[in-house]
Structure formats: C-alpha cells, structure tokens
Amino acid sequence: LPPVPTRGLSRQEVQELPQQVFELIQANLKEMQARNHRAAAYSASRDHRPTVSS
C-alpha cells in the first residue's frame, strides 16, 4: 500500500489504520463481487453470454 500521511493522528489512530484500510477493501471487494454476480445472473437470464465491460 502507498504511504499515508499521518500528521495529526494519535499513535492509536495510526496503529488502527491498516485494519480500517483492510475492512474498506474487503467491503468494496464484496460489493464488486455482488455486482458482478448480479450482472452475470442478468445476462444468463436474458440468454446472453456475459460481456466484459471496462
């Protein structure tokens, strides 16, 4: 991960940063997976092959 500016944060806040970042990444990954699953299910229900969009 890139360095994060920590000026103004307490030592405890700095120590908690990795866990907070991990939780945010995990939540975003779950949302992306759910979105991809819904898109694939929608494509399958319309009898289309899933397409890859950028």
CA distance 6 to 17: 9
pTM for the complete prediction? 0.58
CA distance 49 to 3: 41
Q: What is the pLDDT of residue 45?
A: 77
Contacts (Cβ under 8 Å, ≥6 apart) of 9: 17
Contacts (Cβ under 8 Å, ≥6 apart) of 13: 6
Q: What is the pLDDT of residue 5?
A: 87
Each residue's pLDDT expressed in tens, for the chain with a length of 54 residues: 678 889 999 999 999 999 999 999 999 999 999 999 888 887 877 765 556 665
